[in-house]
Amino acid sequence: MITVTVNDNEYSFIVLFEPAEEGGYVVTCPALPGLVTEGDTLEEAQAMAEDAIRGYLESLIKDNQPIPSGIRRSRSGSRSR
């Protein structure tokens, strides 16, 4: 599970980490169609996934598109990530 903060809201997502044939990890998020990223290590793959998810959500919000249903959202207050 990865949680990101966008506009003072926290969104939590299930992500899938799969070993890549050439090394490293490929990351997908079933709730966000088309979101794919990768990293050489699990830590890097997680950081890349957080950035990709944040960017995906920011793009949806900017374009007045709905956040996919089933996404857990909570108010984060003054915390930021």
The answer to whether position 50 is within a domain reads yes
The answer to whether residue 75 is domain-embedded is no
Q: How many domains does the chain have?
A: 1
What is the residue range of 35's domain? 2-65
Is 71 part of a structural domain of the chain? no
Q: Mean pLDDT in the chain?
A: 88
Q: What is the CATH number of the domain that holds 54?
A: 3.30.160.250
Task: Look at residue 25 and tell me if it is in a domain.
Answer: yes
67-81 confidence digits (pLDDT tens): 886 566 666 554 444
Specify the amino acid at residue 1: M
Please report whether residue 70 resides in a domain: no
Residue 8 pLDDT: 86
In this predicted structure, what is the pLDDT of residue 49? Answer: 97
Region of 6 on the Ramachandran plot (φ > 0 left; ψ -120 to 50 alpha; else beta): beta
The pTM assigned to this predicted structure is 0.81
Residue 76 lies in a domain: no
Q: DSSP string spanning 9-60?
A: EEEEE--EEEE-TTSSEEEE-TTSTT-EEEESSHHHHHHHHHHHHHHHHHHH
